[in-house]
Amino acid sequence: MSGFRREASDILDELDALRSADAPTHGGRVLSYVYDSGLAALDELAAEAARRVQPVNGLDPTTFVSVAAMERSVVGFARRVLGGEGGAGDGSGNDDVVVGSVTSGGTESCLLAVKSARDAWRAARLGSPRVPRLVAPVTVHAAFHKAAHYFGLELDLVPVDPATGTLAPAAIEERLGDDVALVVLSAPSYPFASLDPVADVAAITAERGIALHVDACIGGFALAFWPEPLPAWNLSVPGVTSLSADLHKYGYAPKGASVLLTRGRDRQRHQYFATTGWPGYPVVNPTMTGSKPAGPLAAAWAITEALGEPGFTELTAQAARATAALRDTIDGIEGLRVVGRATGPLLAVATDEDAPAGSRVDPHHWADAARSAGWQLQLQPGLVQADGTHLPHTTHLTVTPVTERVLPELAAALVVAADEVRGIPQIDGGAALAGLALALPGFDADGGASGLAALAAGGLDSDTAAAILGAAGLLGGEGALPDQLAPVLALVEALPGPLTERLLVELLARVVEPPAD
Ligand SMILES: *Cc1c(COP(=O)(O)O)cnc(C)c1O
């Protein structure tokens, strides 16, 4: 080949221009999605490590033996800091030893935990025609909804205390039966930062021989080094049979790395897929993909080598101090409250219903006000639980080590944002819905929500979905979010779930559809 069609520098300039429209990944202004250690040298090390394995195929660690060496090292580190050494039994038997895999992220770790538990459940009940059940508090990460959907389990969501977001162990116990393949708890949960009662539930599930996964995807590598004592939550609890923790969250690795640890070699072997039933190479995959990059693993390995326990301890202390300071700030803001007993470097913020109506602050208006000042908080919808109780809508903050450096500015912005929106009530979803129905071409406005529900039940085609999005003012841009997200979330809360899901699918699908030329 004589040359490139375009100059490399020109292409990279274009990439830089595209990137300039992204939310900032560093500097602490985005309080979700990104986990900034604040150490530029660590990012550089990770990038260089990833680059050096760029051509490697992680599919086959017997051909690319560096992959096996790095994975052993990372799994060993995770096992050490997540309570997987000693504790249960003598630590050396097939049933006791904790083994693991590096996966592409939290979702893959969660999917595999569910798949393994399902297959172990099936293997123990040869011929059972029953659909296995997955029991978890309603605060469990959506990755388990996805896992139940992909792997054919019934998802049995247990209500939590609507005021605090906490789970009563007895509520799980009531749901247990022989069809339960897996119970999942969070340490902590994403929506409310609640640390589920791992030891209490583990005592119950262990006695019944039911598998228990602890989803420590977000918090694992922070709680492992948390400066204050915590209730037992990790693999040091004997009944915990697997645990997930994301290297690309508080492991500070670039995206694409998580660890799934499993107690017992035999239990973990259910995670693998193997076949020799085709005329090609024997396929033996511990994770979902075939060919896979070694870059995220190499980056995560380099980071754990560079930081070690002392480095993680220091970074976690920074995030913990910043979290405590933000909690104090929010406690001092009239009309807002931190939900429940938030544990680890994240918080959810709700309206303080004890404040007089005129002093209340809606967390979504608050997030929008903070956003217009350059701070991106994450809006979370309210939810009606199976028992009819209502979980409040909230705003989520993920706090990272770098947050500590911007704390004075951030705290001031949160106070100002609350002052700007204090007394403005939560958007009335029903009214938003009626407005939407009115704006729909050819749609009977009297139908309102039920009319929209009927639409959804009938199955929406792509053009109808796009028309609804257009009427809501959500289609047409280049994929950028509108300035005000509170009205969008109000619709999300008011529309029937399946309809919202269908509309969001349409939105995301159209964002990446190339224009017709
Ligand atoms: C982030 C997260 C996941 C899913 O992880 P991804 O890396 O986004 O796939 C699962 N559980 C919890 C609690 C999380 O916070």
Note the pLDDT tens digit of each residue in 391-438. Answer: 999 999 999 999 999 999 999 999 999 999 999 999 988 887 887 777
Within a domain: 330: no
Q: How far apart are CA 282 and CA 511, in angstroms?
A: 38
Are 277 and 248 contacting, i.e. CB atoms less than 8 angstroms apart? no
Cα 13–16–17 angle (5° rounding)?
90
Please report the beta strands in 8-132, taking only residues with DSSP state E, as ranges in sequence order.
98-103
Centroid of ligand 1 to alpha carbon of 110 (angstroms): 8
CB 315 within 8 A of CB 35: no
Confidence of residue 508 (pLDDT cuts 50, 70, 90): very high
- 41 Cα to the center of ligand 1, angstroms: 26
Structural domain containing residue 105: 49-303
Determine the distance separating the centroid of ligand 1 and the alpha carbon of 254, expressed in angstroms. 14
Query: Which of 109, 141, 244 to probe ligand 1 with, by most ligand atoms within 8 A of CB?
Result: 141
Let me know if residue 94 belongs to a domain.
yes
Instruction: Grade residue 88 by pLDDT with cuts at 50, 70 and 90.
Output: very low
Q: What is the mean pLDDT of residues 221-230?
A: 98
Longest dimension (CA), the chain: 73
The minimum-distance atom of ligand 1 relative to the CA of 246 is 7
Q: Token pair for residue 339?
A: 């939900």
Q: 390 - beta bridge partners? A: 384
> Residue range 489-493: average pLDDT?
90
Cite the beta strand spans of 153-280 per DSSP E.
Answer: 154-158, 180-186, 212-215, 242-246, 258-263, 273-275
Ligand 1 centroid from CA 107, angstroms: 6
- pLDDT at residue 513 is higher than 50: yes
Distance CA 169, CA 351 (A): 27
Q: What pLDDT is stored for residue 481 in this prediction?
A: 77
Kindly state whether residue 479 falls inside one of the protein's structural domains: yes
Positive or negative torsion for Cα 17, 22, 25, 26: positive
pTM comes to: 0.96
Residue 350 lies in a domain: no
Cα(231) to centroid of ligand 1, in Å?
21
Ligand 1 atom showing the smallest separation from residue 108 Cα: 9
C-alpha distance across the termini of the chain, in Å = 29
Q: What mean pLDDT do residues 77-86 have?
A: 95
Residue 459 CA to ligand 1 center (angstroms) comes to: 30
* C-beta of residue 344 within 8 angstroms of C-beta of residue 222: yes
d(CA 176, CA 169): 11
Name the domain boundary from 303, 332, 363.
303
Q: How far apart are CA 170 and CA 407, in angstroms?
A: 40
| Neighbouring-strand partners of residue 262 | 99, 242
Whole-number pLDDT of residue 448: 58
Q: For residue 446, what pLDDT band results from cuts at 50, 70 and 90?
A: low
Helix or strand holding residue 395 (H, E):
strand 394-398
Task: Specify whether 129 is located in the same domain as 274.
Answer: yes
Burial of 305 (0-12, 13-18, 19+ CB in 10 A): middle
Q: Per DSSP, what are the bridge partners of residue 391?
A: 383
Q: How far apart are CA 453 and CA 476, in angstroms?
A: 24
- The pLDDT value recorded for residue 100 is 98
Spell out the alpha helix ranges (H) of 443-513: 448-457, 462-471, 486-494, 497-511
Taking all residues of the chain, what is their mean pLDDT, rounded to a whole number? Answer: 93
Residues 135 and 281 occupy one common structural domain: yes
Establish if 390 belongs to a structural domain.
no
Q: Confirm whether 30 is domain-assigned.
A: no
CATH of the domain at 146: 3.40.640.10
Q: Can you tell me the mean pLDDT for 88-104?
A: 80
Angle 357-359-365 from CA coordinates, rounded to 5°: 95
Query: Does residue 216 or residue 446 have the better pLDDT?
Result: 216
* Distance of alpha carbon 305 from alpha carbon 367, whole angstroms: 37
CA of 248 to the centre of ligand 1 (A): 10
Q: Give residue-wise pLDDT tens across range 30-68.
A: 999 999 999 999 999 999 999 999 999 999 999 999 999
Q: Identify the residue whose C-alpha is closest to ligand 1 atom 7.
A: 106
Q: Last residue of some domain: 275, 303, 331?
A: 303
Assess whether pLDDT exceeds 70 at residue 250: yes
Q: Residue 119 has what pLDDT? A: 97
Does some domain include residue 154? Answer: yes
Residue to mutate, 138, 196, 217, 346, ligand 1, most ligand atoms under 8 Å from C-beta: 217
Report DSSP state, residue 252.
-
101 forms beta bridges with: 260
Predicted confidence at residue 3, as pLDDT, reads: 84
Residues 88 and 222 in one domain: yes
Give the Cβ contact number of residue 33 at 10 Å.
Answer: 12
**Residues within a 6 A CB radius of ligand 1:** 105-107, 110, 141, 143, 186, 190, 215, 217-218, 246, 258
Reported as a single tens digit per residue, the pLDDT across 129-174 is 899 999 999 999 999 999 999 999 999 999 999 999 999 999 999 9
**For residue 233, is pLDDT > 90?**
yes
Residues 98-112: tens digit of each pLDDT: 999 999 999 999 999
Query: Which residues, including other chains, have CB under 8 Å from residue 278's CB and lie 6 or more apart?
Result: none
If one counts the domains in the chain, the total is: 2
Is residue 414, in this structure, part of any structural domain at all?
A: no
- Using CA atoms of 168, 174, 177, 183 in order, give the dihedral in degrees to the nearest 10: -10
Pocket test for ligand 1, best of 215, 223, 247 (most atoms within 8 A of CB): 215
Q: Is the pLDDT of residue 1 over 90?
A: no
Q: Select from 272, 303, 334 the last residue of a domain.
A: 303
DSSP states of 401-436: GGGGGGHHHHHHHHHHHHHHHTTPPPP-HHHHHHHH
Nearest atom in ligand 1 to 189's CA: 13
Q: Is the pLDDT of residue 26 over 50?
A: yes
Calculate how far, in angstroms, residue 96's C-alpha sits from the geometric centre of ligand 1.
26
pLDDT digits (tens, 9 = 90+) for 186-215: 999 999 999 999 999 999 999 999 999 999
475 CA to centre of own chain: 26
